[in-house]
Structure 1
Amino acid sequence: MVKALNAAAAYFCATFAAGFVLGTIRTLLVEPTTGALGAVALELPLMLAVSWIACGWALRRFDVESRFSPRLVMGVVALALLMGAELFVSVLLAGRSPGEHLALYQTAPALLGLAAQLAYAFFPLVRLR
């Protein structure tokens, strides 16, 4: 299980770093011309591709067993880290309250992002052989 936890942390770090860069580009450059939903829809395939590649790398790097439970742990822990970091950034950098952050999930762009985050959590299981 330690391998799955280490893989989850690495998977999270790789995708969060990419998401931070792409999210900044999305917010500053793309969103003003396409709107929030259009910008998220354009960013989403890139983030899913990055996530898929990072997942495969973490699985190989940490030699996570090809069994359901370690892969599930990896996905759930990576998702928890991602959601926690997203909340942290929203509160600290964007100045929102936790309640305001949660209220964002009532908007279409945030729901689209959440759907992608759920796919991200399932990638370790999908890559189960």
Structure 2
Amino acid sequence: MADVLKAGILYFLGVFTLGFILGAIRIFFLVPYTGPVFAVLVELPVILLVSWFFCRFLTRRFTVPTEPYERLLMGLIAFVCLMIGEALVAMFLQQGRMTDFFMTFDLPENRIGLAGQIAFALFPVLQSYADSKAGQ
């Protein structure tokens, strides 16, 4: 269980850091030329691809069991940490309230981003399923 917790937290930290860097690039360099929705659509495949391989590395490094419960827990830990981290960064940078953070999901680009975050959370389980099919 401790390995699942470690893997989930490191999964969050790695992807959050990458997302912070790519988000800054998106906001300052892409959004002014393409608009917010297209900029998110450009960023999303990059972060999901890196997340997929980083997740695979962590599940192997920490030998996270292939049982769905363990993998879901890893993804859930990473997802909850990610949402808390994003809310705190948004509140700090925009000096808003928590309700303001949740209101931003009315924007299409943030809904697309949320879909990507849900996929990120499901990667540990999807990889377990894919590995079991490949091993047959």
CA shift for structure 1 position 93:
1.6
In the alignment, does 2:89 pair up with 1:75?
A: no
C-alpha separation in 2, matches of 1:54 and 1:96: 32
Q: Name 1:16's counterpart in structure 2.
A: 16
Unaligned runs of 5+ in 2: none
CA shift for structure 1 position 59:
0.4
CA shift for structure 1 position 43:
0.3
Q: Name 1:105's counterpart in structure 2.
A: 105
Q: Name 1:58's counterpart in structure 2.
A: 58
Q: Name 1:119's counterpart in structure 2.
A: 119
Equivalent residue letter for 1:75? G
List per-residue Cα deviations over 1:7-61 (Å, max 9, x = no partner).
0011111101100100000000000001111110110000101110110111011
C-alpha separation in 1, matches of 2:109 and 2:97: 19
TM-score by length of 1: 0.97
How well do the aligned residues superpose, as a CA RMSD in angstroms? 0.7
C-alpha separation in 2, matches of 1:76 and 1:102: 19
List per-residue Cα deviations over 1:72-124 (Å, max 9, x = no partner).
10000100000000000000122222111111001100000000000001000
Equivalent residue letter for 2:109? P
Structure 1 runs of 4+ off > 6 angstroms?
Answer: none
TM-score by length of 2: 0.92
Q: What does 1:43-54 align with in structure 2 at a 5 Å threshold?
A: 43-54=43-54
How many pairs align?
129
Larger radius of gyration: 2
Equivalent residue letter for 1:8? G
C-alpha separation in 2, matches of 1:33 and 1:96: 27
C-alpha separation in 1, matches of 2:60 and 2:84: 25
Corresponding residue SS for 2:66: coil
